[in-house]
Amino acid sequence: MSDEDPEGKKILVIQTHGVDTPRRTYSPLFYAMAAAAMEMEVLVWFTMDGTNQLAKGAAEKVKLDPTSDVTLKTMLEQALDADVRLRVCQQSMALFGMTKDDLIDGVEILGATSIIDLALQADHVMYF
């Protein structure tokens, strides 16, 4: 484990996968929550197929462990509780026919080029 002090560092997580590849949905949020627990500023950017997991009614249908009561919805809620910021690409939403009324609570819509600023501001970027 690194000796670098994580407190205050900015982590950007880019999630390009959604409910069609459910096995790729939990881990980015888990890592985001771990970083938040270590007092880093964490933002998860949902783009491409990542957008569809933020539609109302979608995340609760993703349950990777049948023996657990945890779903993707649980993971998203826990991330928000941990002060992980969730942002979604406006253009990706439009491309896939989603409007703001389709989104779950707690997610902010940003224009696509916001990713440039977010990447420049982050200390580290993680891509999924």
Partner 1 sequence: MGPHPEVRGCVLLLDLHYHVVDHTWVRVDDDGTVTVGMTDVAQNLAGPLLHAKPKKVGAVRARGKPLATVESSKWVGPVKSPVSGEIVAVNGKLAEDATIVNRSPYKQGWIVRLKPSNLDEELAQLVTGEAAVAAYRERIESEDIKACEHVEGFEA
Binding site for partner 1 (CB under 8 A): 1, 30, 33-34, 37-39, 65, 68, 70, 78, 82
CA distance 40 to 37: 7
Closer to partner 1 by CB, 56 or 124: give it: 124
Closer to partner 1 by CB, 91 or 106: give it: 106
For the CB of residue 60, give the shortest distance to partner 1 in the complex, in Å: 16
CA distance 71 to 125: 25
* Residue carrying structure tokens 């484990």: 1
For the CB of residue 32, give the shortest distance to partner 1 in the complex, in Å: 9
